[in-house]
Structure 1
Amino acid sequence: MAKQTVKLGNTVLGSGRPKIAVPVTGSTQEAILEQAAAVKAAEPDLVEWRIDYYEGVTDAAKLTETGKKLRDTLGDLALLTTFRTKGEGGELALDDETYFAICENVVAGGYTDALDVERFHDEASVKGLVKKAHDANVVVVMSNHDFDKTPSADDIVGRLTSMAEFGADVPKMAVMPQSVEDVLTLLTATRQADVALSQPVITMSMADLGKVSRIAGEVFGSAVSFGTVGAASAPGQIPLTHMKNDLQDLKLTD
């Protein structure tokens, strides 16, 4: 399967070492912009704005205003905007209608390079949101997170494949390991999906057991890893400064 690359601003996913994303998790506009400035100074490849942490997320005008100020702060640094629902490890419980309205507002705001779209919502709504994002030249990272367990390798590959079929530019899956064998399952599934799909994929095994999956993406086929500058947004994330060295040490030579 010929592999595609996906461009987010000046960052290319699916080529070379995994790119490092750092979350911004402030609850106020001031905190978001302050955190974003610190993250930018640390020079990641992209920033993930976790808008489920933002107290103004349900106010369309506030969200757009903050998004545009965040874009100004980040300059040409690539931005992925994510509302993570409560059921998938996020901060805020919302009904589907509100979730999709917020995501559509992000697309309309014109400040983000990519949008996270959770796969397991109403299928017609997911596909409609993908179309709106693509019409606005916004890349779709489609995701699923299992904070309880690690599904079988076939199940993980099946979920990633269904995301590709739904129009995802980058399918993403995060799972929780209960054993070393679970980490091996995730890595096996990553390799299988990387071979089977033309899209770049993002995978991770969470918590301390899964940390190895966050630095081994170039070997197994995960295109992005999530590091930290300050606060983490998921268990097992590694500080950005460490991760840069880890990924460099594990780099594949031509």
Structure 2
Amino acid sequence: MKIVVPIMPRNVADVEAIDLDRLADADIIEWRADFLPKEEILKVAPAVFEKFLGRELVFTIRTKAEGGHIELTDQEYVALIKEVAALYHPDFIDFEYYSHKDVFDEMLDFPNLVLSYHNFQETPENFLEIMSELTSLSPAMVKMAVMPKTEQDVLDVMNYTRGFKTLNAEQAYATMSMGELGTLTRLSGRITGSCWTFASLDEASAPGQLPLGTLKKFLEVLE
């Protein structure tokens, strides 16, 4: 299971101030560009991609509808993604399929998509149906992040994920139950087949993320 660490710079100076040594245990860096105003994303992009040259990087614009910090029309969203992708060729591109389904056709030429689904309200009963629909679109990765209300919700996510693995051995995916209640799902990839887990450096990008050093130690013990 690879550890993904999000970075959330508010300006170029924030990018330059990132201490790469502290990210040594991260397998993948996720640039959460939604912490910038939309007109600043392309201005900060060169600094980000230069900083992390040679590292695997996910480019993500998380919109407010899915727990992020920016509001964009479908066309603004897809245009920004395509421009960054054309200029800098990130290893992975996060795409909020259900929030921007109408412009998904514009992304069909990109083989490195992370098709993501975020639900900060609940753990939906049709979790597996959503996962299966995203898989049918042949992305590089399917990402599912949902909010538990009970311990059973957490166990359900692990059970759904394990069941999915038996039927879809070829599809890479990352699933997580958010918040403190769901912390276990961020450690259980060896059992469930989830191949990414997200850790924080100084600031968590989603509720329940463990600090990078802590997560690394847990995974070493479990493995």
TM-score (ref. length: structure 2): 0.93
* SS of 1:210 mapped into structure 2: helix
- The answer to whether the 8 Å contact 2:59/2:90 transfers is yes
* SS of 2:158 mapped into structure 1: helix
Residue 159 of structure 2 is aligned to residue 188 of structure 1 = yes
Alignment-derived partner of residue 51 in structure 2: 73
Structure 1 residues 27-106: aligned runs within 5 Å: 27-35=10-18, 37=20, 39-40=22-23, 42-55=24-37, 58-59=38-39, 63-106=41-84
Residue 195 of structure 2 is aligned to residue 220 of structure 1 = no
* SS of 2:104 mapped into structure 1: helix
* CA 1:122–1:64: 2 relative to 1, 3 Å: closer
Mapped partners of 1:129, 1:108: distance in 2? 12
Structure 2 alignment gaps of length 5 or more: none
Structure 1 alignment gaps of length 5 or more: 1-17
- The answer to whether the 8 Å contact 1:71/1:111 transfers is no
Residue 134 of structure 2 is aligned to residue 176 of structure 1 = no
* CA 1:25–1:211: 2 relative to 1, 3 Å: same
Structure 1 residues 127-146: aligned runs within 5 Å: 127-131=105-109, 133-134=110-111, 139-146=112-119
Mapped partners of 2:99, 2:202: distance in 1? 31
Alignment-derived partner of residue 21 in structure 1: 4
**1:116 aligned to 87, 94, 99, which one?**
94
Residue 67 of structure 1 deviates from its aligned partner by: 2.3
Alignment-derived partner of residue 159 in structure 1: 130
Residue 245 of structure 1 deviates from its aligned partner by: 1.1
* CA 1:230–1:166: 2 relative to 1, 3 Å: same
Alignment-derived partner of residue 231 in structure 1: 203
Residue 121 of structure 2 is aligned to residue 148 of structure 1 = yes
Residue 122 of structure 1 deviates from its aligned partner by: 4.6
* SS of 2:139 mapped into structure 1: coil
TM-score (ref. length: structure 1): 0.82
* SS of 1:209 mapped into structure 2: helix
- The answer to whether the 8 Å contact 2:74/2:102 transfers is no
Residue 38 of structure 1 deviates from its aligned partner by: 5.7
Alignment-derived partner of residue 8 in structure 1: none
Question: What do the CA deviations read for 1:149-191 (whole angstroms, capped 9, x no partner)?
Answer: 0012xx1121111112123111110000000000011101111
- Runs of 4+ deviating beyond 6 Å: none
Residue 249 of structure 1 deviates from its aligned partner by: 1.3
- The answer to whether the 8 Å contact 1:67/1:109 transfers is no
What percent of counterpart residues are identical?
30
Residue 218 of structure 2 is aligned to residue 246 of structure 1 = yes
The amino acid of 1:49's aligned partner reads W
Aligned length: 222
- The answer to whether the 8 Å contact 1:175/1:204 transfers is yes
